[in-house]
Amino acid sequence: MRSRFTATVMLFTTAIIWGFAFVAQVLGSDHVEPFTFNGIRFMLGAASLIPVYCIFEKENGLTPAEKKQRHKHTALGALCGGLCLFTASALQQFGAAMTRDPGKAGFITGLYTVLTPVFYFLIFRKKSGWNIWLGCVLATVGLYLLCLRPGEAFSFGMGELVILIGAFFWAGHILIVDLFIARVSPLRFSSWQFFVSGALGLIAGVIFEDVTWSGVWNAKWAILFCGILSVGVAYTLQVLAQKRSDPTYAAIIFSTESVFAAIGGILWNLVTPESLHVDQEILPIGYVGCLIIFAGIVLSQLNFSKKKT
């Protein structure tokens, strides 16, 4: 019982950090362009996990040949995961900068939870239950209400579209992790994929963006939060918690990330001067949409199959 309680605390802490990170991403976009922002934060995340895997992943039980093979798979998986992570995070950051609305960005990103089982069905022909398809329908209806402005045309702009495309890549990243996780060292895999994503972000930033030290310095707190807490600490908590909890139970708690993104935006605007406010444009009908999206996410993660005796 104590172990489950500890795991639950870890899972919710992870969801809170990931949700509040949307506020930091919006604030960071005021000073640093997306590729540079993600490049620095993923490099920080990769570095913060080095002492973690040195402590927790000794791999003493493996022979030199087995360790070499495992590290080979880890490197390959990290390369694939890093490429997908780079794309997903870049789209998310671009979209967050366009909408400047952490709540909306969080709920649209959360659709990856529903998209993942759909991808499993389309790519691997893994059967999906009725609840998953109903969850997709609910998420679509909720997204419509989230972007609806009564008396106006449907306001699904470029920023929302970019975030939604990013959700497909977040779902793809989960598939990549699933393909490699049994053959890799999990914490090393995480750190190395963050390094790949960070390196690609810095390279793209140097080529396509105007990088200034003053901009990086002004965004330092947002970068530190997203790098050390959102990437390093939260992922470590996720790994430790999922060793002690059911994956479906964990996924349901992780889906509250979108709720904490909206809460984070509201709290930030309450405690900061107006000049530092983020846009919190969700109307009452939009909050109904948020609830429907959240219901679809949770429903898609529940298991209604009959257990064998």
pLDDT tens sequence across 202-246: 999 999 998 889 999 999 999 999 999 988 888 778 767 766 766
| Angle at which helices 257-271 and 102-109 cross, to 10° | 170
Q: Looking at beta carbons, which pairs linking 75-79 to residues 24 or more positions away fall under 8 Å?
A: 75/192, 76/180, 77/176, 77/177, 77/179, 77/180, 77/181, 77/183, 77/184, 77/189, 77/193, 78/184, 78/188, 78/189, 78/192, 78/193, 78/195, 78/196, 79/193, 79/196
- 68 within domain boundaries: yes
Residue 154 confidence (pLDDT) above 60: no
Number of H helices, E strands in the chain: 14, 0
- 297 within domain boundaries: yes
At 305 the pLDDT is 62
- 306 within domain boundaries: no
Percent of the chain with pLDDT over 70: 85
Rounded to whole angstroms, the maximal C-alpha distance in the chain is 67
Mean pLDDT along residues 29-42? 91
Report pLDDT digits (tens) over 119-144: 877 777 666 677 777 877 787 787 67
Quote the distance between the C-alpha of residue 86 and its chain's center: 12
Report pLDDT digits (tens) over 56-69: 777 777 788 888 88
Percent of the chain with pLDDT over 90: 24
- 308 within domain boundaries: no
- 274 within domain boundaries: yes
More confident residue, 132 or 157: 157
Could you tell me the pLDDT band of residue 82, with boundaries at 50, 70 and 90? very high
Domain boundaries, position 251: 2-301
The SS3 of residue 57 is coil
Which stretch of 6-20, 221-235, 280-294 has the lowest confidence by average pLDDT?
A: 280-294
The answer to whether the beta carbons of residues 292 and 145 sit under 8 Å apart is yes
Residue 248 confidence (pLDDT) above 60: no
- 309 within domain boundaries: no
- 250 within domain boundaries: yes
The answer to whether the beta carbons of residues 143 and 84 sit under 8 Å apart is no
Residue 111 confidence (pLDDT) above 70: yes
- 254 within domain boundaries: yes
Mean pLDDT of the chain: 82
DSSP-derived secondary structure letter, 147: T
Which stretch of 167-171, 266-270, 305-309 has the lowest confidence by average pLDDT?
A: 305-309
At 306 the pLDDT is 57
The answer to whether the beta carbons of residues 262 and 15 sit under 8 Å apart is no
Which stretch of 157-171, 186-200, 245-259 has the lowest confidence by average pLDDT?
A: 245-259
Please tell me the total count of domains within the chain.
1
Residue 309 confidence (pLDDT) above 50: no
At 246 the pLDDT is 61
Could you tell me the pLDDT band of residue 262, with boundaries at 50, 70 and 90? confident
- Indicate the pTM of the whole model: 0.80
